[in-house]
Amino acid sequence: MRCLGILPRLVAGLLWCALAGCSGMPLWGGQPIAVQEVRRLAVCNSDGPQAKVTLFAHRDAVLAWQQARGVDLAGEDPLPSAGAYVLAEMGVRTSAGFGLAISRQASVSGGGEVTLNATLFSPDSAQAAAPSATSPCVLVALPDGVYHGAELRDPAGSLLARVEAPVQ
């Protein structure tokens, strides 16, 4: 019976592996592209409980955003100056143990909208999570190209968040 408690974690781990790049086909259509996670924060100072996605046209837009938000996405390693970025935010949560993973496999439509695939993680209900506010986020770098919008989808294909224009 103890093995049944491990089953949900095993399924979540296998799903994460599948979304992390084990598949060569994009889930929602469009031209397949590979994205690269460049930063991950447990506290991104999100402004609400909803998932959010932000498309940045270039590194300077990321740096301006982080200064306004009061977080350090750039870290000690400077971000590459060329290329666009997408920030996926899970939203504010009231305890620790939440997170998100962004698949390396994404797609871009002919109109320049990039689709990222995300898996959201919650703390195990049997374990008490620390009562501190978190707001997990992941910054990903996009391959060279022109992007006009971005969307974030869960493994079932449900739309979590969308943005229609990049931050300049």
> What are the tens digits of pLDDT across the range 68-110?
999 987 777 778 777 899 999 999 998 888 899 999 999 999 9
pLDDT interval class at 127 (50, 70, 90): low
Rounded CA separation 165/146 (Å) = 11
HEC per residue, 121-159: ECCCCCCCCCCCCEECEEEEECCCCCCCEEEEECCCCCE
Within 57-136, strands assigned E span: 85-89, 99-102, 105-108, 113-121
CB burial class (10 A; 0-12, 13-18, 19+) of residue 46? Answer: buried
Listed range (48-52, 98-102, 115-119, 123-127) with the worst mean pLDDT: 123-127
Q: Is 160 helix (H, G, I), strand (E, B) or coil?
A: strand
Rounded CA separation 113/145 (Å) = 11
Mean of the pLDDT values across residues 31-56?
Answer: 94
Q: Domain segments of the chain: what residues?
A: 2-163
Angle (CA) 10-162-81 rounded to 5° is 90
Rounded CA separation 31/53 (Å) = 20
